[in-house]
Amino acid sequence: MKRKLVFLLVAVMLASMFAACGSSGTTTSSGGATTSSGTTDTPAADGGIEISAPGELPIVKETVPLSIFAMQNVNVEDYDDNKMTNFMEEQTGVEISWQLVPEKDGIQKINLMLASQTDLPDVFMNNQITADVVADMADQGVFIPLDDMIEQDGFWYKEAMEKDPLLATINVLPDGKRYTMPRVVKSIPNETSGRGWINKVWLDNLGLDIPTTTDEFYEVLKAFKTGDPNGNGKADEIPMIGASVTGWHSNPDEFLMNSFIQYNRDMPVHIRDGEIRASFDKPEFRQGLIYMNMLCSEGLLDGASFTQDQTQLKQIFDNEDDALIGFVPGGGTFQYASMDGERVREYIPLSPLKGPEGVQLAWYNPYGSYGVTDWAITNACENPRVAFKFADYMYSREVCMRNRLGEPGVDYLIPTNGEIAVDGEEATYIPVLLWGSVQKSHWNERGPAYNDFDNNLVKGDNPYELQLYLWTATKDHYTPFTPPVENCYNNLTFYTTEDARALSDVWSTLRDFGREYVAKFTTGVVDPNDDKAWDQYIKELENVGYLDWLAIMQARYDSANA
């Protein structure tokens, strides 16, 4: 809000008059909070300014500037002339001074600023600062701890923590303090996005049932290869293919390996009885590799799955003449063909397969909905409590919806007739402004947030509407097979600077090594049935340093759960 001088003078005079009259009490604001006309306290740490009580707006009576460094999202046309900016300024009494850089330059610019510790903003609003940088800046006093402010001034953030137990565990440093505030977009479909899609038309053409076990899946793939299920008289069918170079869970190992052992390709560890265990060194993992090797050796799993990217896979999937693929892994079929087209309608979600030892797990990352570094207050901030309370207000439902959807009544509508939502609950919104549009209505959901309404939009009649499609697939086929949360490693864990860098150094090599060997074992470059080859693989893992890597994670886990 760019207030004119006259307005400021009048406001100050009115405030003085009210103060002289001893006015007190509260009224309800449009943001769902209360607006205080009384005074709380004037701590020196905040420049002696008056700050409202928890949950009361505006935060300050006199305008306070706040400089926010952010990466400029391509879908936000203007941050100054922006409905979200204007709303936040009007409600809080804070005047935002944006420091914007293109996303491609953001991390480099942040690292330079933090290295020099000059010209720091009041706040970094960003979800790409790495955990080791947060730990380093906390150690140096550049990022200030938030715990006292959470206790003293928190309102909406406390509400979110009370209803979501995971929120209390995700952004705590080893010293027991929080230095950042998270952005949460609760999405069950995203948490279980290692899905797979099988061609139902092919199954019907061959009179086959939907497979439920790895043995049945093997038989179905064989029938796809030899039975001409697309009916064109050519042996052009590809029973199964994926893309491991790029793509949203389009690699084949995640879907198949979870029939043998709990497996997450991006962080292949899990927890059992308080022990952090690698997935990739276990006999069960080897059995999964032997199974994939069998599929590949018989031409049922295309070896190109480990060398091609999503664009190449899309070209095969959306072949103009006939469907060529029997089964494809991926977060959604929309990756490969338009949801408005006919090709995607041939495919249905395939539930996780039960393996030979009875393992039947969905890929699951319960921490995937959380970003942990979206708001860090620097030691350059003269009014840190104001900066905190500004972020705290962003966790309110109204602000969260504005930051995602825009202006109520204009950019989204509020249902009034008890309509049912995609998630089966009573709907709370009808989108008008399409997500992904270039706009001046919101910040594209950047910054602190707690969005638990993502799938609470009005349910339409089209089962192929993307959110409904993914919600239904997830609820019916994957949520029933997720492992317990306590068995899932928290990949958002903060470590000391030294430990974070040690983990990063090992993982950068271990990740590439592991993926390389999954491809080698599956395609037969190395035989997973050969004991000597497997022993050599384990020895090379040890040389990479994975045991020390596990030990660091175990020590941090033990200290956090002591």
Summarize the confidence of residues 38-42 as an average pLDDT.
Answer: 40
246 and 269 inside one domain: yes
Residue 430 CB: number of other CB atoms within 10 A? 15
pLDDT-wise least confident of 57-61, 129-133, 267-271, 555-559: 129-133
Locus of tokens 């395939």: 350
Summarize the confidence of residues 414-430 as an average pLDDT.
Answer: 96
Residue length of the chain: 562
Question: What's the confidence (pLDDT) of residue 4?
Answer: 34
185 and 207 inside one domain: no
Q: Is residue 552 part of a domain?
A: no
Task: Using pLDDT thresholds of 50, 70 and 90, give the confidence band for residue 267.
Answer: very high
CA atoms within 13 A on the CB side of 353: 24
Task: Using pLDDT thresholds of 50, 70 and 90, give the confidence band for residue 46.
Answer: low
Total tally of structural domains belonging to the chain: 2
Q: Is residue 559 part of a domain?
A: no
245 and 114 inside one domain: no
207 and 301 inside one domain: yes
Question: What's the confidence (pLDDT) of residue 104?
Answer: 87
Task: Using pLDDT thresholds of 50, 70 and 90, give the confidence band for residue 47.
Answer: low
Average pLDDT, the chain: 91
Helix (H) or strand (E) holding 548: helix 546-560
Residue 327 has pLDDT above 60, yes or no: yes
Summarize the confidence of residues 15-29 as an average pLDDT.
Answer: 35
Task: Using pLDDT thresholds of 50, 70 and 90, give the confidence band for residue 39.
Answer: very low
392 and 448 inside one domain: yes
Question: What's the confidence (pLDDT) of residue 49?
Answer: 87
Question: What's the confidence (pLDDT) of residue 36?
Answer: 46
Q: Is residue 472 part of a domain?
A: no
354 and 439 inside one domain: no
Q: Tell me how far CA of residue 481 lies from CA of 367, 442, 477, in angstroms.
A: 17, 36, 8
pLDDT tens for each residue of 294-311: 999 999 999 999 999 999
Angle at 321 between CA 316 and CA 324, to 5 degrees: 40
Summarize the confidence of residues 531-552 as an average pLDDT.
Answer: 97
Summarize the confidence of residues 492-512 as an average pLDDT.
Answer: 93
Q: Tell me how far CA of residue 13 lies from CA of 7, 20, 61, 282, 397, in angstroms.
A: 10, 11, 12, 73, 34
Instruction: Report the CATH number at residue 429.
Output: 3.40.190.10
Q: Is residue 101 helix, strand or coil? A: strand
171 and 210 inside one domain: no
Task: Using pLDDT thresholds of 50, 70 and 90, give the confidence band for residue 33.
Answer: low
Decide which of 323, 347, 363 is a domain's last residue.
Answer: 363
Q: Is residue 512 part of a domain?
A: no
122 and 165 inside one domain: yes
Q: Is residue 96 part of a domain?
A: yes
Q: Is residue 207 part of a domain?
A: yes
Decide which of 331, 363, 395 is a domain's last residue.
Answer: 363
Peptide bond preceding 58 in cis form (omega within 30 of 0): yes
Residue 445 has pLDDT above 50, yes or no: yes
pLDDT tens for each residue of 382-404: 999 999 999 999 999 999 999 99
Share above pLDDT 70 across residues of the chain, in percent, rounded to a whole number: 92
Task: Using pLDDT thresholds of 50, 70 and 90, give the confidence band for residue 169.
Answer: confident
Q: Is residue 41 part of a domain?
A: no
Task: Using pLDDT thresholds of 50, 70 and 90, give the confidence band for residue 132.
Answer: confident
Residue 414 has pLDDT above 60, yes or no: yes
Sign (positive/negative) of CA torsion 463, 468, 469, 474?
Answer: negative
385 and 399 inside one domain: yes
507 and 547 in contact (C-beta within 8 Å)?
no
pLDDT tens for each residue of 88-128: 999 999 999 999 999 888 888 999 999 999 999 999 998 78
Encode 264-276: b = buried (16+ Cβ within 10 Å), e = exposed: bbebbbbbeeeeb
Angle at 520 between CA 519 and CA 521, to 5 degrees: 95
pLDDT tens for each residue of 139-150: 999 999 999 999
Task: Describe the crossing of helices 546-560 and 531-544 by its angle, rounded to 10 degrees.
Answer: 60
Judged on CB neighbours under 10 Å (0-12, 13-18, 19+), 162 is exposed
234 and 165 inside one domain: no
More confident residue, 126 or 268: 268
pLDDT-wise least confident of 45-49, 284-288, 435-439, 464-468: 45-49
Sign (positive/negative) of CA torsion 110, 131, 70, 4?
Answer: negative
359 and 396 inside one domain: no
Q: Is residue 293 part of a domain?
A: yes
Summarize the confidence of residues 249-274 as an average pLDDT.
Answer: 96
Question: What's the confidence (pLDDT) of residue 562?
Answer: 85
pLDDT tens for each residue of 176-218: 999 999 999 999 999 999 999 999 999 999 999 999 999 999 9
The structure's pTM equals 0.87
Question: What's the confidence (pLDDT) of residue 130?
Answer: 85
User: Beta-strand (E) ranges in 200-287?
Assistant: 238-240, 269-272, 275-278
**Domain with 295 in it:** 196-363
Decide which of 332, 363, 394 is a domain's last residue.
Answer: 363
Taking each continuous run of H as one helix and of E as one strand, the counts in the chain are 18, 16
Question: What's the confidence (pLDDT) of residue 19?
Answer: 35
More confident residue, 506 or 41: 506
328 and 234 inside one domain: yes
Q: Which residues pair with 420 in a beta bridge?
A: 426
176 and 236 in contact (C-beta within 8 Å)?
no
Summarize the confidence of residues 54-62 as an average pLDDT.
Answer: 96
Q: For the sheet containing 238-240, what is the strand order?
A: 238-240, 325-329, 196-199, 347-349
Question: What's the confidence (pLDDT) of residue 126?
Answer: 82
**Which of 361, 407, 343, 474 shows the shortest CA–CA distance to 82?**
407
Name 280's Cβ contacts closer than 8 Å, sequence gap at least 6: 268, 514, 541
